[in-house]
Structure 1
Amino acid sequence: MNGPSILLIFVGLFLLGGAVSFWKQQMPRGVIALLGIGAALSLLAGVLRLEVWS
């Protein structure tokens, strides 16, 4: 695993935790959706950058 992939996975997990926290606080759904999309894209980019696939 290299640095950028670890960073992307960490950021994705951080955003996912924020989305879950905002959902529990019953924040607006648009904010939760935006955080969820950002988390999914960041996690996907981090996983695809792993050297396992090449």
Structure 2
Amino acid sequence: MTDNLLAGVMVFIGLFLGGGVFSLLKQGLKIGAAVCAVGAALAITAGVLWW
């Protein structure tokens, strides 16, 4: 049960960071969006692999 909960939290964090990518791109901050995109990809990958 705990593993699934942690995996779900990681996916949620990844989706939250994905929203941050959209927001940063909309503001014209490409470097920040790239860093945020890398974090989002890592979080979603960790959540999927942890599941």
- Aligned counterparts of 1:36 and 1:26: Cα–Cα separation in 2: 14
Residue 25 (structure 2) aligns with: 23
Secondary structure at the residue paired with 1:30? helix
Runs of 4+ deviating beyond 2 Å: none
Report how many aligned residue pairs link the two structures. 49
User: Which 5+ residue runs of structure 1 have no aligned equivalent?
Assistant: none
Residues 3-42 of structure 1 mapped to structure 2, 5 A cutoff: 3-27=5-29, 29-42=30-43
User: Which 5+ residue runs of structure 2 have no aligned equivalent?
Assistant: none
Q: CA-to-partner distance for each residue in 1:19-52, whole Å, 9 max, x for gaps?
A: 111101112x2111100000000000000111xx
- Aligned counterparts of 2:28 and 2:37: Cα–Cα separation in 1: 14
- Aligned counterparts of 1:25 and 1:39: Cα–Cα separation in 2: 18
Which is richer in helix? 2
TM-score, normalization by structure 2: 0.88
